[in-house]
Amino acid sequence: MQDANARFPFIARVLIFRQFLWGAAFYGTYVLLTKFFLDELNYSEADTIMMMGAFGAVGPVFSAVGGFVADRYLGSFRAVYIGYTVYTFGFFLLGFGASNLNVPLSIFAIALIGYARGLSATSPTVLLGNSYSATNREAFQQGLTINYSLNNLGSFSSKYLFPFLVAYLAYQGNFYIAAGIMSITLVLFVLFKQQFIAVGNDLDRQPVSSKVWMGFVVGSAVMLGLVYWVFSNLDAGKYLLYALGVGAIGYFIYEITKATPSYKYKMCGVLITIFIMIVFYFYYGQMLTSMNIYAINLMGDQLFGLIPIRPESNAAFNPLWCFVLGGPVIYVYGWLEKKGFSPSIPTKFAAAFVFSAIAFSLLGFSTQFVGVDGKISANWILWVHFFQSLAELIVGALGAGFIFEMVPRYLSAFSIGLRSVALSLSGILAAVISTRIALPKDQVLTPEIIENVYASYFFNLAILAVVMAFVTLALSKVIASLIHKGEALEKEELANSDKPAAQH
């Protein structure tokens, strides 16, 4: 217990190192998939965009299921250990599929990776939180910050380096490296198994019945089959993801009708916030769909005329800026609080929309600066990511704490999972709409096509972001009013419940 009161308990340090390894393996693979499907598996731009959108959406939408399984049946450590084992096998199988250009095997491999993400996404935070004592929560918050920073560092390193390594190792070599990196996490889990179990939940310290294992295996097979079907049938698969997301929101609306009057108002405020989240994360989803395709087709291969960079490495700018800007954003929040100004969550979303508008305006303007080599400077994409990363940092993990406070406790876990549902819905919507800029194979990029396809698309997104900034500011007043009414009713309910006791 003494270690649990340290600033960084031993097992917390192991978990943070694990996060670095996971970020390097997962995002290094992620950054290669677009060109892998385009060039190696001969997918069209439209199908590749949809594949990336579905791949980004599957993990979040199933993470609520993975968290439920960890909480109720397996335990947090088991969920992570099994998930990371599947990750390792998935990366290895992806390398094997790439070496043979086997489309079904490659799709099955990324289905395994999507399944592993859904199963294990929520549990590392539980383990990290449990590694700190109940009286050491401030240090836990610092641990989360370091954990996030190391994830970005691992992500940046692999997103920058992996595309260069393709020339020497081909795609399969990089996927095998990712498998090797993930296997290191498995070694950590074996070496420190008892320490991990100690910070797991109660289920981690109890045997699992054969009935539960059988149910888990069958359920995993069904889930994996669904994920594989989505990736193999993108046109129809997107409707399954829509249905899962809309169904979860529909169930939340149903629970609003059953809630007490005070919670009805507050939950309606949550519902509006979820709508804002879906729209904002739609812009986040553009980074690995439309922005990525645009950069691959038009971005130059030097940054500031000095630093070599591969076009598909443009995604590395996001974790780089998140790593650099994290501290300054926290400082600004602290400074504002000292000045007595604490912006509400919807107001922060409005500010994020403004920065997204600047980012996509810059993308639109960049189309006017295509050089004689038919490329735009990588500097444009760097600064686009600066503003979009700033928007992401402003929003951060906002919403989860707000939702937790606004809903009945029996709905808290499900309701917090709605943030992942919003991320999933916005990701698939981003992919569907991004297919508007998809071009046929071997299309020559003329100035007219660049203007009519890319510029108009990005400027329209910028205009929508400005509109959403004003809409969000207006909705923030509606949300505040709903919460105020709910809290007033809650006080009345508490007062009424105390009256008989007081009279007696």
If asked whether residues 8 and 113 sit together in one domain, one would say: yes
- Region label for 170, one of left (φ > 0), alpha (ψ between -120 and 50) or beta (otherwise): left
If asked whether residues 275 and 224 sit together in one domain, one would say: no
Contact 63, 197 (CB under 8 A): no
Please check whether residue 251 lies inside any domain of the structure. Answer: no
Please check whether residue 478 lies inside any domain of the structure. Answer: yes
pLDDT tens figures, 156-197: 899 999 999 998 999 999 999 999 999 999 999 999 999 989
If asked whether residues 281 and 160 sit together in one domain, one would say: no
Domain span including residue 200: 1-232
If asked whether residues 223 and 297 sit together in one domain, one would say: no
If asked whether residues 196 and 308 sit together in one domain, one would say: no
* pTM, two decimal places: 0.82
Please check whether residue 320 lies inside any domain of the structure. Answer: yes
Secondary structure of residue 407 in the 3-state scheme: coil
Q: Tokens 């290191």 label which residue?
A: 184
Secondary structure of residue 480 in the 3-state scheme: helix
Sequence-distant (6+) residues with CB within 8 A of 169 are 176, 177
Q: Using pLDDT thresholds of 50, 70 and 90, give the confidence band for residue 486.
A: confident
If asked whether residues 131 and 280 sit together in one domain, one would say: no
Number of domains in the chain: 2
Please check whether residue 292 lies inside any domain of the structure. Answer: yes
Q: Is 190 exposed, middle or buried (0-12, 13-18, 19+ CB in 10 A)?
A: exposed
Secondary structure of residue 79 in the 3-state scheme: helix
pLDDT tens figures, 465-476: 999 999 988 888
If asked whether residues 219 and 271 sit together in one domain, one would say: no
Please check whether residue 253 lies inside any domain of the structure. Answer: no
pLDDT(387) > 90? yes
Please check whether residue 243 lies inside any domain of the structure. Answer: no
Closest CA to 155 of 314, 27, 322, 323: 27
Could you give the count of Cα atoms lying within 13 Å of 109 in the half-sphere of its Cβ? 27
If asked whether residues 214 and 266 sit together in one domain, one would say: no
CATH number, position 327: 1.20.1250.20
If asked whether residues 195 and 266 sit together in one domain, one would say: no
If asked whether residues 222 and 98 sit together in one domain, one would say: yes
Contact 94, 111 (CB under 8 A): no
pLDDT tens figures, 288-337: 888 888 998 888 988 888 889 888 888 888 888 888 887 787 778 778 77
Q: Which of 194, 216, 232 is the last residue of a domain?
A: 232
Q: Which of 215, 232, 249 is the last residue of a domain?
A: 232
SS (H, E, C) 19-38: HHHHHHHHHHHHHHHHHHHH
Please check whether residue 2 lies inside any domain of the structure. Answer: yes
If asked whether residues 294 and 222 sit together in one domain, one would say: no
Please check whether residue 18 lies inside any domain of the structure. Answer: yes
If asked whether residues 145 and 281 sit together in one domain, one would say: no
